Each structure stands twice: as structure tokens, then as C-alpha cells.
């Protein structure tokens, strides 16, 4: 992932070669947004976990990758690397 990307709820984005993938999971409340980190998957099995961030937090780090949150709504999130 380089540059800016907008993810809708359920969209998958790779963080780069050899890195995990992320999925935007929406906003479980008005003050929190969630991103799922997909660690490993194989056919019907896999590992993933939800990461929850306060709406005010605009700089996050996932799998060693620094991301800036430019915009977040219940339906989409815009990230910049």
C-alpha cells in the first residue's frame, strides 16, 4: 500500500509484500472505529483480530506500518502511508 487508499466496510487492503492485510470494519460506536488485521488464512481457517481506535486518533501503526487516517466515517476510511 503506497499513497492514499479509501476502504469501504469489508474492503481488503494489503500493507505490502510480506505484511498482513487489513479490512475496514466500520464504527461500532460514534467515538470508535475498527480495523481487522488478517494475520494468516488457509482455505476455511485463519487468524484475524479487530483493532479498535478512538475517533480522535489519526496516526496508527499496524504490522510495523505507520498509517495516517485522513477521514473516517461509519461507511469508509481513508488511509495514507
How high is the pLDDT of residue 43? 77
Q: Where are the domains of the chain?
A: 4-80
pLDDT in tens, 2-45: 789 999 999 999 998 888 999 999 999 999 999 999 987 777 77
d(CA 46, CA 26): 21
* pLDDT, greater one: 46 or 28: 28
How high is the pLDDT of residue 5? 95
Question: 11 with 24: CB under 8 angstroms?
Answer: yes
Strands 32-42 and 76-80: unpaired
Amino acid at each position: 500500500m503506497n499513497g492514499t487508499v479509501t476502504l469501504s466496510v469489508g474492503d481488503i487492503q494489503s500493507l505490502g509484500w510480506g505484511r498482513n492485510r487489513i479490512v475496514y470494519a466500520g464504527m461500532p460506536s460514534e467515538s470508535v472505529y475498527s480495523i481487522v488485521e488478517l494475520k494468516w488464512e488457509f482455505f476455511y481457517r485463519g487468524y484475524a483480530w479487530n483493532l479498535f481506535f478512538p475517533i480522535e486518533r489519526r496516526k496508527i501503526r499496524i504490522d510495523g506500518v505507520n498509517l495516517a487516517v485522513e477521514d473516517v466515517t461509519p461507511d469508509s476510511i481513508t488511509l495514507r502511508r
